[in-house]
Amino acid sequence: MEKVINYLKDNFDAYLDELKDYIRIPSISTLDTHKDKMVECADYVAKQFESAGMEKVKIFPTKGHPLVYGEWLKQPGKPTVLIYGHYDVQPVDPIDLWVSDPFEPRIADGKIYARGANDNKGQNFVHLKAVEAFMKVTGSLPVNVKFLFEGEEEIGSASLAEFLKTEQELLKCDCIMISDTSMYAPNVPTITYGLRGLLYMEVEVTAANRDLHSGSFGGAVANPIIELAKMISKLHDKNGKIAIQNFYKNVQVPTKKEKDNFKKLKFSDKAYAKDLAVKELQGEKGFSTLERLWVRPSLDCNGIIGGFTEKGAKTVLPSKAMTKISMRLVPNQDPEKIAKEFAKFFKSISPKSVTTEVRKLHFGPPAVAPLDSPGINAASNALAKAFGKKTVFTREGGSIPIVVDFMRQLKAPAVMMGLGLDSDDIHSPNEHFRLENFEKGLYSAAYFLDELAKQ
């Protein structure tokens, strides 16, 4: 083990350079214009699998973006880990707020800045290099490894979900390793055992059949932006509860043990508010911040468009307004049922002066992984060794839509060994990843393989 760790240490700078090449490929999954970049990135990943010593490396084309697979199965009798990662990234807008080019990685104050530096290229890269180091130093691995990277995580993982329906044999494993979550705080090794789900909707409001002069028509015809704003304002009541019917039906209450665990994490509302430069936090009455983030559902308006938004003034009474609304869901809320209730809610409050259309974009169910699996124990020990501290267990407010499918289809627990921080600005301008976490992540990934073999 020591030799492997030393090898990782010695090669850190070279790995960082390779990570930069990975990041330079602008693999933005949601943009149709970037399809060729997705193919290029899948090729890059396949090459990485090969240099990590994987066999049967294969790029699977899908209706969306390619999946990349590779395996090394020469430890019969030892566990098999499926290491999952996503090579797609989020768009970079608003580009003006980036200090430097999002796809030209910049190292400053101990961090690497770029889109994907953390989510998820930086995080999945540690596993590639830990496996590679094991192979280079010892000529083998302590356990069996399957790698599977996809290019659609940021848009809902539809192709991987399809793939999982028919490829259970290929992907058969004892646990699924995922590094795509946050640590509780800097230098606090963390295992995440729960994720919120996500339901993403669009609401479009149409008033008149065309844009109108706001002098000739204003006051006599509905304004779709105003009507939409009124409807949005009805989504929460005065206690911060979501007003959609049956929304909280089936919401699972956390156990006493869980609540005690949350308390032990000593979350500071004050520090949190200060960091975000808000005077006060806001949310559902009667719940702590960690409960609001991890075990209670939420609803957010992600964007709203309509009318004239350029510089200057134009007098217009627009025909249309549109908003994108997402809901973070918790066990055992049913995304499909909630999507229906959501549409019903808008229909019921939409005034006759406009037409309101509701569309479902995508959804992923919430996930809770078991806390006592060999994979979790191995990861918990590995993190503790790499960071020199006891591992804490948290849930997460964000989503990784494929986790539930993985656990159901492969009948194996997910192990979420995140290396990011909530302050790393993922999905935002100036996304970054701490070099210290990159380094300790490399060690954690290597220790994990060793620990898993001992379980």
Residue placing its CB nearer to ligand BES in the complex, 382 or 400: 400
Q: Which helix (H) or strand (E) holds 446?
A: helix 435-454
Closest by CA position to 438, among listed 9, 6, 139: 9
Q: Give the residue closest to Mn ion by C-beta.
A: 119
Shortest distance in whole angstroms from residue 119 CB to Mn ion: 4
Shortest distance in whole angstroms from residue 264 CB to ligand BES: 21
Q: Which does 401 bind (CB under 5 to 8 A by kind): Mn ion, ligand BES, none?
A: ligand BES
Q: Which does 399 bind (CB under 5 to 8 A by kind): ligand BES, Mn ion, none?
A: ligand BES
Please give the size of the binding site for Mn ion, defined by CB under 5 A. Answer: 1
Look at the block and give the residue holding tokens 């494993």. 173
Residue placing its CB nearer to ligand BES in the complex, 8 or 117: 117
Shortest distance in whole angstroms from residue 418 CB to ligand BES: 6
Residue placing its CB nearer to Mn ion in the complex, 119 or 174: 119
CB 333 within 8 A of CB 251: yes
Shortest distance in whole angstroms from residue 323 CB to ligand BES: 17
Each as own residue / partner, the long-range contacts of residues 56-60 (CB below 8 Å, 24 or more positions apart, any chain) are 60/163
Shortest distance in whole angstroms from residue 217 CB to Mn ion: 43
Structure tokens at 244: 């959609």
Shortest distance in whole angstroms from residue 134 CB to ligand BES: 25
Shortest distance in whole angstroms from residue 426 CB to Mn ion: 6
CA distance to 144, 225, 393, 409, per residue, from 380 (Å): 19, 50, 9, 24
Alpha carbons within 13 A on the beta-carbon side of 127: 31
Query: Please, which of residues 108-127 interact with Mn ion by CB under 5 A?
Result: 119
Give the Cα separation of 84 and 101 in Å (integer). 28
Shortest distance in whole angstroms from residue 202 CB to ligand BES: 14
Structure tokens at 323: 């908003």
Q: DSSP states of 103-158 as a string?
A: TS-EEETTEEESTTTTTTHHHHHHHHHHHHHHHHHHSS-SSEEEEEEES-GGGT-H
Q: Which does 197 bind (CB under 5 to 8 A by kind): ligand BES, Mn ion, none?
A: none
B/e letters for 320-333, b = 16+ CB within 10 Å, e = fewer, are: bbbbbbbbbbbbeb
Which DSSP symbol is given to 236?
A: B
Q: Is 107 left (phi over 0), alpha (psi -120 to 50) or beta?
A: beta
Structure tokens at 53: 């010593």
Q: Give the residue closest to ligand BES by C-beta.
A: 398
Structure tokens at 406: 């993985």
Residue placing its CB nearer to Mn ion in the complex, 97 or 243: 97
Q: Which does 364 bind (CB under 5 to 8 A by kind): Mn ion, ligand BES, none?
A: ligand BES
Q: Which helix (H) or strand (E) holds 440?
A: helix 435-454
Shortest distance in whole angstroms from residue 86 CB to Mn ion: 8
CB 279 within 8 A of CB 273: yes
Q: Which residues contact 373 (CB under 8 A, 6 or more apart)?
A: 175, 413, 415
Residue placing its CB nearer to ligand BES in the complex, 170 or 265: 265
- Checking DSSP bridges between strand 55-60 and strand 67-72, what pairing results, if any? antiparallel
Q: Does 396 bind Mn ion (CB under 5 A)?
A: no
Q: Is 304 exposed, middle or buried (0-12, 13-18, 19+ CB in 10 A)?
A: middle
Is the omega angle on the peptide bond into residue 332 within 30 degrees of 0, that is, cis?
yes
Q: Does 204 bind Mn ion (CB under 5 A)?
A: no
Where does this chain bind ligand BES (CB under 6 A)?
119-120, 153-154, 156, 180-182, 198, 364, 396, 398-401
**What are the two backbone dihedrals, phi and then psi, of residue 220, each rounded to the nearest 5 degrees?**
-110, -20
Shortest distance in whole angstroms from residue 157 CB to ligand BES: 7
Query: Which residues here bind Mn ion, judged by CB under 5 A?
Result: 119
